[in-house]
């Protein structure tokens, strides 16, 4: 059971606790609103936007008994329709694990995940599984590893269509595949070829084609440009943007460094060792990075001026600065569409920085 406190002007009001354990929520149940502790008086999600994916207090574990390892702890965020929500953190921080939980590959040890208000974590009927598997697609980091080397491009792009019988007849299937292959900037004559005949960028175009051909509403793009040459990264980002605009897609974009996501994200969540430490709109986060881990990621972004870059001191995050022995931390809303993880004292400090009352 989770309890949230919402502070109003003069009092502490205990909100009705959202009891969202896996056993209690039925698949058809409407998603409870995700509520955060709120230290300011601003309403949360004040523009009332449509939530496509809601991750609520999710833990994800691997292994059993003594070998049990918690890869993700109490992850909570909403992703709004049409936005690019980025998840950023160093390698091994649990980004892919969260993406795979939304894809229903990793089970949640606690909490729930909702897609357009319907619970998609836990047990689902075959019909529901079918529906959500089609609507939620994933694009992977390494197109070489994620494409079946023995299959033709035609088969790779068609696989989901075959699995879900999403075509009237062979003519219809070919028309769909040729259309999408053109849209990703490849040619119909490429369809008879094999992945190894293509460059990394072209393979990622195939990866995009096989996802988009399913007509999904939501895409988990898991480091889709990290394995690509710097020179062709922008092409893939532009393609993602084009599809988002044309088809009203919503993205979870996973990356291990902040510089990549600055201009493509509407909002950014920063994750450290399986724990989300900060969520804010892109410009807000870059203007007011508050959590020391976010600040360390910021300081790692290269500066174009070589002289400044050379003399720059890297800010290293030391988790032992937090003393959580007495006052426990949580992810708290501080206004400005900005959420930060800390205990009461830290939150007051972060808010004072945010409001310009102290410099650090």
Ligand X SMILES: Nc1ncnc2c1ncn2[C@@H]1O[C@H](COP(=O)(O)OP(=O)(O)O)[C@@H](O)[C@H]1O
Alpha-carbon dihedral of residues 250, 256, 262, 263, nearest 10 degrees? -50
Residue 91 engages ligand X in binding (rule: CB under 6 A): yes
- Contact by Cβ (8 Å): 244, 84: yes
Residue 107 engages ligand X in binding (rule: CB under 6 A): no
By three-state DSSP, how is residue 234 classified?
Answer: helix
CB of 181 to ligand X, least distance (A): 29
Q: CB under 5 A: which stretch of 1-9, 96-104, 291-299, 331-339 binds Mg ion?
A: 96-104
Residues 66-85 within binding reach of ligand X (CB under 6 A): 71
Residue 210 engages ligand X in binding (rule: CB under 6 A): no
Residue 137 engages ligand X in binding (rule: CB under 6 A): no
Residue 54 engages Mg ion in binding (rule: CB under 5 A): no
Q: What is d(CA 21, CA 25) in angstroms, rounded to the nearest whole number?
A: 7
What Cα–Cα distance (Å) separates residue 165 from each residue in 154, 172, 222, 258, 304?
A: 15, 11, 26, 40, 50
Residue closer to ligand X (CB basis): 16 or 91: 91
Residue 93 engages ligand X in binding (rule: CB under 6 A): yes
Q: CB under 6 A: which stretch of 35-43, 95-103, 186-194, 307-315 binds ligand X?
A: 95-103
**Residue 146: contacted member of ligand X, Mg ion, none (CB under 5 to 8 Å, by partner type):** none
Place of tokens 């410009």: 283
Of the residues 96, 112, 158, 202, which one makes contact with Mg ion according to CB under 5 A: 96
Q: What is the DSSP letter of 305?
A: -
Residue 62 engages ligand X in binding (rule: CB under 6 A): yes
Residue 338 engages ligand X in binding (rule: CB under 6 A): no
Residue closer to ligand X (CB basis): 159 or 257: 257
Q: What is d(CA 56, CA 44) in angstroms, rounded to the nearest whole number?
A: 15
**Residue 62: contacted member of Mg ion, ligand X, none (CB under 5 to 8 Å, by partner type):** ligand X
Q: CB under 6 A: which stretch of 39-47, 77-85, 93-101, 240-248 binds ligand X?
A: 93-101
Residue 247: which of 90, 172, 123, 135 has the closest Cα? Answer: 135
Q: What is d(CA 188, CA 237) in angstroms, rounded to the nearest whole number?
A: 22
Please tell me the number of Cα atoms within 13 Å of 67 on its side-chain side: 3
Residue closer to ligand X (CB basis): 102 or 157: 102
Total of chain residues touching ligand X, rule CB under 6 A:
10
Handedness of CA 274, 244, 185, 211 (dihedral sign): positive
Q: Which residues of 172-191 are buried (b: 16+ CB within 10 A; e: fewer)?
A: ebeebbbebbebbbbeeebb
> Most distant CA pair in the chain: distance in Å?
69
Residue closer to Mg ion (CB basis): 96 or 146: 96
**Residue 71: contacted member of Mg ion, ligand X, none (CB under 5 to 8 Å, by partner type):** ligand X
Residue 210: which of 272, 153, 150, 151 has the closest Cα? Answer: 153
CB of 72 to Mg ion, least distance (A): 12
**Residue 86: contacted member of Mg ion, ligand X, none (CB under 5 to 8 Å, by partner type):** none
Residue closer to ligand X (CB basis): 92 or 302: 92
Q: Which residues bind ligand X (CB under 6 A)?
A: 62, 71, 89, 91-97
Q: Which residues bind Mg ion (CB under 5 A)?
A: 96
């Amino acid at each position: 059971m989770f309890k949230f406190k919402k502070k109003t002007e003069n009092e502490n009001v205990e909100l009705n606790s959202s009891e969202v354990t896996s056993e209690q929520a039925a698949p058809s149940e409407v998603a409870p609103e995700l509520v955060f502790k709120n230290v300011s008086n601003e309403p949360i999600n004040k523009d009332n936007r449509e939530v496509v994916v809601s991750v609520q207090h999710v833990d994800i574990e691997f292994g059993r008994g003594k070998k049990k390892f918690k890869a993700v702890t109490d992850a909570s965020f909403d992703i709004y329709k049409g936005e690019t929500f980025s998840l950023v953190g160093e390698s091994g921080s649990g980004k892919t694990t969260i993406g795979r939980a939304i894809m229903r590959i990793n089970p949640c040890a606690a909490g729930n995940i909702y897609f357009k208000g319907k619970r998609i974590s836990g047990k689902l009927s075959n019909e529901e599984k079918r529906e959500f598997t089609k609507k939620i697609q994933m694009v992977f980091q390494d197109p070489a590893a994620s494409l079946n080397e023995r299959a033709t491009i035609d088969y790779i792009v068609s696989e989901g269509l075959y699995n879900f019988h999403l075509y009237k007849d062979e003519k219809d299937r070919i028309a769909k595949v040729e259309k999408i292959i053109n849209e990703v900037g490849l040619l119909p004559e490429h369809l008879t070829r094999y992945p190894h005949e293509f460059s990394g960028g072209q393979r990622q175009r195939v990866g995009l084609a096989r996802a988009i051909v399913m007509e999904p509403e939501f895409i988990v793009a898991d480091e889709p440009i990290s394995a690509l040459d710097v020179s062709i990264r922008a092409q893939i980002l532009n393609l993602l943007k084009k599809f988002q605009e044309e088809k009203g897609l919503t993205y979870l974009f996973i990356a291990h460094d902040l510089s990549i996501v600055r201009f493509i994200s509407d909002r950014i969540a920063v994750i450290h060792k399986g724990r989300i430490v900060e969520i804010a709109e892109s410009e807000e986060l870059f203007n007011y990075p508050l959590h020391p881990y976010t600040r360390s990621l910021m300081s790692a972004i290269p500066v174009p001026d070589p002289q400044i870059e050379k003399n720059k001191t890297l800010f290293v995050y030391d988790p032992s600065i937090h003393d959580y022995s007495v006052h426990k931390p949580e992810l708290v809303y501080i206004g400005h569409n900005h959420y930060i993880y800390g205990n009461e004292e830290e939150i007051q400090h972060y808010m004072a920085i945010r409001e310009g009352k102290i410099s650090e």
